[in-house]
Amino acid sequence: MTHDSGTKAEGRMKGGERADIASVLRFATELCAWVAAPWALAPWSVGAAVAAVALLIGLPTVFSTPGDKAHVIVAVPGAVTVALVLLQLAVAVAASWAAWPAWAALAVTVLATACLWTERGRWRGLLSGAARTGEA
């Protein structure tokens, strides 16, 4: 899959290759969601906090689009993969504002916005079905 800048997005890295910026920003935002969601939910319910982390990590692990990930457990259309990323971004932003000081929440919001911008090329491929056919 080619991004607007003309650089090739490699998806899963093989030995020695470097991750593209979209992957790095996406992973950083996912980490924020994995930390902020339970932090925000724990005062209300520890069970909900644990469930949130399990779902945020488990859903994208189990459900993925062929061609987008090296190992697919349950194949889903590209739109589902895009929706799962949007869920992670929304949780990262909302939970950070609920649980953390404003400066930290603002940093997560900027990170999520940058992730949205850099994911456009990947999402175009996922929504067009290119990942499923191996063109990505």
Q: What is the pTM of this model?
A: 0.80
Q: What is the pLDDT of residue 131?
A: 61
Side-chain half-sphere of 58: how many Cα atoms within 13 Å? 6
Q: What is the pLDDT of residue 18?
A: 57
What are the per-10-residue average pLDDT scores of the chain (136 residues)?
A: 44 55 96 98 96 96 90 93 97 98 98 97 89 50
Per the listing, tokens 């724990």 go with: 42
Q: What is the pLDDT of residue 67?
A: 86
Side-chain half-sphere of 12: how many Cα atoms within 13 Å? 11
Q: What is the pLDDT of residue 68?
A: 86
Q: What is the pLDDT of residue 129?
A: 79
d(CA 75, CA 90): 23
